Amino acid sequence: MLRLCALVLLVARSAAAADGTWKQLFDGKDTAGWEHVGPGGFTVQDGLLVTQGGMGLLWFTGEKFGDAVIRVLFCAAGARSNSGVLIRIPEKPKDPWYAVHHGYEVQIEEAGDEYHRTGVIYSMSKALAPAPLAEGGWNTMEITLQGQRTVVTVNGVKVTDFEGTQTAPERKQWYEPERGPRPDHGYIGVQNHDARSTVAFREISVRALADAKSTPR
């Protein structure tokens, strides 16, 4: 899988490098500016950030983000490869579960149900539409933060439009996040979920919402 992802990378470079409004958080060389908590970790291979083992969290230490667009390009080894993008984390996490219960996890996993599949806020929001994922290829996820509103698109299709104050389904499992609104500003991170899941990231970038063309409708 990684060989395929790296091959696609050679012919499909992101346009973000040429767009100064995007701030690149991962430079393709190392994890400087990031910190890992929990089991497992991430390695940098052929310019890609790759999950290993888990469950852990790699979070960006440089700043909290408020009204902004987060863009993540990812490639999953299979439908059950599990990962996520953690947003609105209020404080520096001492363990990965802090981010799950006090922030939101934007899920990456094709095989989940409507509340546990790619593009939803894990167990909190129902998918508006299935994410049109490129099997064995690269996918673009954009997460727009605007106050308490979180909008997630995957490959241009809106999967989530969630207000932090709206009612979420009843929490059924111990590992599902605690309910309740999250802060308008917070840290972000990416998850390494388990030894059977492999997900690669080639871009993690952010730009202020004022620099974006529009908020997805």
- pLDDT per residue as tens digits for the range 144-199: 999 999 999 999 999 999 999 999 999 999 999 999 999 999 999 999 999 999 99
Quick: pLDDT tens for 33-77: 999 999 999 999 999 999 999 999 999 999 999 999 999 999 998
pLDDT of residue 10: 43
How far apart (Å, rounded) are the C-alpha atoms in residues 94 and 6? 32
Residues 6+ apart with CB under 8 A from 78: 1, 110
CA distance 171 to 149: 21
pLDDT at 12: 44
Q: What is the pLDDT of residue 13?
A: 46
Q: What are the structural domain ranges in the chain?
A: 2-12+37-209
Q: What is the pLDDT of residue 89?
A: 98
Cβ neighbors of 3 (< 8 A, separation 6 or more) are none
Tell whether the model's pLDDT for residue 15 goes beyond 80. no
Predicted TM-score (pTM) of this structure: 0.91
Count CB neighbours of 66 within 10 A. Answer: 15
CA atoms of 105 and 84, how far apart (whole Å): 6
Q: Judge whether residue 210 has pLDDT over 90.
A: no
How many C-beta atoms lie closer than 10 Å to residue 12's C-beta? 11
2-12+37-209: in CATH 1.10.357.10 = no
